[in-house]
Amino acid sequence: MSHRIVILGGGYAGVTAANRIARRLDGAEVTLVNERATFVERVRLHQVAAGESLASRPLRELVRPGVDVVVGRAGRIDLERRQVVLDGGAESEPAPLPYDTLVYALGSVAAPGPDDAVALATADDAWWARDRVAELVAEHGTVAVVGGGLTGIEAATELAERHPAVRVRLVSDVEPGPWLSHRAQGHLRRVFHGLGIEVAGGSVADVRDGSVRLTDGRVVGAGLTLACTGFAVPAVARDSGLAVDEVGRIRVDRTLRSVSHPDVYAVGDAAVPQLPNGRPFRMACATALPMSAAAGAAIADRLAGRRPTGLRFRYVNQCVSLGRRNGVIQAVAADDHPHRIVLTGAVAARYKETVVRGATWFTAHPGPNRPVPRTRV
Ligand SMILES: Cc1cc2nc3c(=O)[nH]c(=O)nc-3n(C[C@H](O)[C@H](O)[C@H](O)COP(=O)(O)OP(=O)(O)OC[C@H]3O[C@@H](n4cnc5c(N)ncnc54)[C@H](O)[C@@H]3O)c2cc1C
């Protein structure tokens, strides 16, 4: 019987891993499981929330011939029997999916945020937000974006640029973009000013009745509050008994193999490599792509009796879109700290757009033996 490889999650990480494995392993049975039939360009969800229509790409068109796509929701992994239990509908209970090797790439969802706020982490979140934004455009209303990280900055600028009639307020307990250099932060402030984005510094106590209440008593009125307050991971790994870190990401070694279950690999937002230098990893596409390419190569190498090389990459920059016409590209050192080198303006916007397109292209064409990219997204 051929080796059965099941990949859970058809995002950047899962599709890259599936294609890499299918390219390297003739004769393996590769099955990709995803909760929807289409690939979601998650790094563009702030564009969707602002009202942009994005092309929907069927997963079957992104994966190599020979990769079987199963549309279903992974509910649990039976690590003893080596099978994935899929959630059934009201009446049906789908048959479990047996595997010899499992690749876990279920990504992330929104971290718990204030009640009554809409998150911006999944396609469903973005579609919900888009409909409410459309109403607010008609009403000349206000959107409050909570969070001064990458997602909050990209969402606020996208909304303000696309909808000048909507008032956009960014609520953050830190200076927006705290990881950026002074130069990049200065650019950010100028862009916010130019787009009319108001920044309210403070921590959110709660969101209710169309208002964001801050812990110091101030109230920021808003017809929609978008919570961009970080990501959490699905509980499937922890609930199934895999070794996970304090936030539920699967602990993996340098070859992306689970430290507790050697027939399980994990990649993307849902995995955390345990490297001797204790280096932190961003939950980012920039991490997911090299991880998945390395995992695919490691699986193929092990099955062929070769010693895998493992994950080798470094961040070179971080790209932030500030609407469609502006951006910040922050160069970073090997430890991910910002350099003084910063690219801004329209050139930065074009650069980021190229990188975002390149990320989707790479998932479909990760190459057989090409070195993993020095990723930039
Ligand atoms: C608005 C926004 C902007 C971003 N911008 C950037 C950026 O500029 N640069 C950057 O590097 N990163 C960015 N990110 C982060 C980036 O999108 C993630 O790090 C990346 O998508 C991780 O890839 P992944 O494959 O691990 O997870 P995902 O892309 O989330 O893919 C996971 C897949 O698993 C599926 N899934 C989940 N649970 C189940 C289940 N139980 N059963 C079946 N299928 C399931 C999901 O539907 C999805 O298809 C951004 C994120 C957001 C939300």
Q: Decide the pairing of beta strands 167-172 and 198-201.
A: parallel
Cβ 268 under 6 angstroms from ligand 1: yes
CA dist 147 and 345 (Å) reads 22
Centre of ligand 1 from the C-alpha of residue 108, in Å: 6
How confident is the model at residue 90, as a pLDDT?
A: 60
Question: Each residue of 6-42: pLDDT tens digit?
Answer: 999 999 999 999 999 998 887 789 999 999 999 999 9
Instruction: Give the chain's mean pLDDT.
Output: 93
Would you say residue 211 has pLDDT above 70? yes
Q: Which long-range contacts (CB under 8 A, 24 or more apart) does 325-331 make?
A: 325/161, 325/349, 326/157, 326/161, 326/191, 327/351, 327/352, 328/177, 328/180, 328/184, 328/187, 328/188, 330/179, 330/180, 330/181, 330/184
List helix spans (H) across the chain: 12-24, 45-49, 59-62, 123-139, 150-162, 182-195, 236-240, 285-303, 345-364
How confident is the model at residue 28, as a pLDDT?
A: 87
pLDDT band at 134 (very low <50, low <70, confident <90, very high): very high
Centre of ligand 1 from the C-alpha of residue 209, in Å: 31
Q: Decide the pairing of beta strands 57-58 and 38-39.
A: antiparallel
CA dist 344 and 183 (Å) reads 10
Looking at per-residue pLDDT, the higher value among 220 and 377 belongs to: 220
Cβ 269 under 6 angstroms from ligand 1: yes
Q: CATH top-level class for 118-227?
A: alpha beta
pLDDT band at 161 (very low <50, low <70, confident <90, very high): very high
Centre of ligand 1 from the C-alpha of residue 40, in Å: 8
Centre of ligand 1 from the C-alpha of residue 324, in Å: 21
- Angle at 213 (CA atoms; ends 207, 215), nearest 5 degrees: 125
Mean pLDDT of 309-317: 90
How confident is the model at residue 89, as a pLDDT?
A: 66
pLDDT band at 93 (very low <50, low <70, confident <90, very high): confident
- CATH classification of 4-108+233-312, choosing from 3.40.50.300, 3.40.50.620, 1.10.287.1080, 3.50.50.60? 3.50.50.60
CA dist 55 and 46 (Å) reads 15
CA dist 44 and 42 (Å) reads 5
Q: Nearest C-alpha to atom 38 of ligand 1 is from which residue?
A: 106
User: Could you give the percent of the chain with pLDDT greater than 70?
Assistant: 96
Centre of ligand 1 from the C-alpha of residue 130, in Å: 18
User: Could you give the percent of the chain with pLDDT greater than 90?
Assistant: 82
Cβ 157 under 6 angstroms from ligand 1: no
pLDDT band at 117 (very low <50, low <70, confident <90, very high): very high
How confident is the model at residue 368, as a pLDDT?
A: 56
Would you say residue 375 has pLDDT above 80? no
pLDDT band at 210 (very low <50, low <70, confident <90, very high): confident
Q: Nearest C-alpha to atom 15 of ligand 1 is from which residue?
A: 284
Q: Nearest C-alpha to atom 5 of ligand 1 is from which residue?
A: 43
Comparing 109-123, 169-183, 232-246, the range with the smallest average pLDDT is: 109-123
Residues of the chain within CATH 3.50.50.60 domain(s) are 4-108+233-312, 118-227
Would you say residue 188 has pLDDT above 80? yes
Mean pLDDT of 234-261: 97
| Beta strands in 35-151, from DSSP E residues, in sequence order | 38-39, 57-58, 67-71, 73-78, 83-87, 97-98, 101-104, 109-110, 118-119, 142-146
Would you say residue 370 has pLDDT above 50? no
Q: Which atom of ligand 1 is nearest to the CA of 10?
A: 49
